[in-house]
Each structure stands twice: as structure tokens, then as C-alpha cells.
Amino acid sequence: MSELTAADIMIRDVVTIEEGASVQELAGLLSRERISGVPVVDSQRRVIGIVSEGDLVSIDADIHFPHYIQFLDSVIFLESVKKFDERIRKAAAIEVSQIMTRDVVTVQVDTPVSEVATIMTDKGINRLPVLDGDRLAGIVTRADVVRSMAGS
């Protein structure tokens, strides 16, 4: 008996969003579908990003100016100014393209489930888009991996 693959356990009817959708549309979609994240796809169903509840929550999070000290006539930041700039960018975002993660980890339909589980664990990922070539074919969540281990 051969090992299960991503195609064997993936959800085929994937809820997606386009990069030009508004943040409000995204929030409504996640709420309505009762899911925590979706792939962002182009018109050819190529995955160009991924966006999650965490990206939305970060918009509403309080934005705190980085702590700093003054030394002589200089300001020395004790926290990353880059992170602050990122928070400001996300807070001002109006489109999904502005808050999505562009460097998406994906797997192919023939990827063994054991490899899918390893990727999820090593990278701290809750969902993996499954590609057939360069097109979205499905999505695998941690729950799908657990169900496959249970044999259901």
C-alpha cells in the first residue's frame, strides 16, 4: 500500500480571494465561511499570496511607536523600526494585496502526507495550498493531516 499524498486528503473546493478585494470583503469571507485563512489567486488560479485572520487582527492591533533612548543628539531605537513600518503599512491597507503574505509555501498534489506534516511543523503553518503544476488544486489543513492519521 502506497503512502497517502496531498491529493488524497486535500479539500478540493478551495475558498479563495483575489488580491484586489478589500479588507472588509476578506473579513466577511472568513467569517461567512468559518475559516481562518485563504489563498490569494490570480485569474488563472495561480497562488500569488495567502492571507489569514492574523493579518486582519494585526490591522486592529494597537500600533506602538518603537521604544528609544536619546544619546547626545541622536535617537537610538531599542526595537525594530522596520516592524513598526510594517504595522503602519498593514493598518493603512485597504486591499488584500497590501496585507497578504507573498512568499507562500505550497506543495504539489503528489507530495506525501508525511512531507506535508513535516513542512507544516517545521514552518509553523496551519494550511498549505496544493498545486497541480502552477495552478491551485486544493488545500490541506492540519486537521486534514490529523484525519488522515486516524484513517478517516
Binned at pLDDT 50, 70 and 90, residue 46 comes out as very high
What is the helix, strand, coil percentage profile of the chain, to 5?
A: 40, 25, 35
E strand map for the chain: 37-41, 47-52, 68-71, 74-77, 107-108, 127-132, 135-141
pLDDT given at position 57:
76
Among 32-36, 56-60, 79-83, the range of highest mean pLDDT: 32-36
Q: Domain limits of the chain?
A: 6-150
What is the pLDDT averaged over residues 91-98? 76
For the chain, the average pLDDT equals: 84
Interatomic CA distance for residues 131 and 14, integer angstroms: 12
SS3 category, 131: strand
Overall fold of domain 6-150: CBS-domain (3.10.580)
Higher-pLDDT residue of 87, 55? 55
Interatomic CA distance for residues 22 and 92, integer angstroms: 12
| Whether residue 69 has pLDDT greater than 70 | no
Model-wide pTM > 0.95: no
Cα(first)–Cα(last) distance of the chain, in Å? 16
Give 72's DSSP letter. Answer: T
% pLDDT > 70, the chain: 76
Phi, psi (deg, nearest 5) at residue 44 = -100, 10
What is the pLDDT averaged over residues 80-89? 63
pLDDT given at position 88:
60
Higher-pLDDT residue of 66, 100? 100
Q: Which H, E and C letters describe 46-70, residue by residue?
A: CEEEEEEHHHHHHHHCCCCCCCEEE
